[in-house]
Amino acid sequence: MGAGGWAILFVTIYLIVLILIGWVAGKRSKTSVDYMVAGRKMPLYMTTATLFATYVCGGTIMGGAGAAYSGGFFSTIYDPFAAAVALIVAGLFIMKFIRESRIVSMGSFYRIRYGETAGTVSSICMVPTYILFATVQIMAIGKTFSAILGWDYTTMALIGGILVILYTYWGGMLAVAWTDFFQSMLLIIGVIVLFPLALNATGGMTNVKEVVPPEYLSFAPRDYSIIGILTYIAMWAGCGLGNVPCPDLMQRAMVAKDGKTAQWSGILSGILMIGLGLLVVYIGVFGIQLVHTGVLPADAVNSDPEMLVPLMAIQLMPTVILGLFLVGLCGAIMSSADSALFAPAAIISNDLMKEVVYKRRGKEISDAQLKKYSQWSVLGLGILAMILAMSSVSLYNIMILGFTLLGQMLFFPLILGVYWKKANEYGAVAGMIAGAAVPLFMMISQGTMFPGPEWIATLTPLAASALATVIVSLATQSKCLPKPLKTEDGEIIKWPELEVKSNTGQAPSL
Peptide bond connecting 80 to the previous residue in cis, omega within 30 degrees of 0: yes
d(C-alpha 259, C-alpha 103), whole Å: 12
Beta bridge partners of 492: 486
Amino acid at 336: S
| Overall number of domains in the chain | 1
Question: Mean pLDDT, to the nearest integer, of 342-365?
Answer: 83
Residue 159 lies in a domain: yes
Whether the pLDDT of residue 38 is over 50: the answer is yes
Residue 41 lies in a domain: yes
Residue 472 lies in a domain: yes
Residue 172 lies in a domain: yes
pLDDT digits over 412-468, tens only? 999 999 999 999 999 999 999 999 999 999 999 998 888 888 889 989 999 999 999
Q: Residue 358: its pLDDT value, please?
A: 77
d(C-alpha 463, C-alpha 444), whole Å: 20
Q: Is residue 9 classed exposed, middle or buried when 0-12, 13-18 and 19+ CB atoms within 10 A define those classes?
A: middle
Question: Mean pLDDT, to the nearest integer, of 89-102?
Answer: 95
The three-class DSSP label of residue 493 is strand
d(C-alpha 34, C-alpha 118), whole Å: 26
d(C-alpha 220, C-alpha 369), whole Å: 53
Question: Mean pLDDT, to the nearest integer, of 218-243?
Answer: 88
Whole-number mean pLDDT of the chain?
Answer: 87
Q: Residue 92: its pLDDT value, please?
A: 95
In this structure, the strands spanning 485-486 and 492-494 are: antiparallel
Amino acid at 59: G
Model confidence at 509, pLDDT cuts 50, 70, 90, reads very low
| Four-residue CA torsion sign, 230, 233, 239, 242 | negative
d(C-alpha 472, C-alpha 476), whole Å: 6
d(C-alpha 266, C-alpha 264), whole Å: 5
Residue 179 lies in a domain: yes
d(C-alpha 164, C-alpha 178), whole Å: 13
Domain CATH code at residue 487: 1.20.1730.10
Residue 7 lies in a domain: yes
Q: What angle do CA 82, 409, 99 make, to 5 degrees?
A: 70
pTM of the model: 0.89
Q: Domain limits at 378?
A: 3-504
Residue 510 lies in a domain: no
Residue 509 lies in a domain: no
What percent of the chain is predicted at pLDDT more than 90?
A: 42
> Quick check: 273 and 187 in contact, CB under 8 A?
no
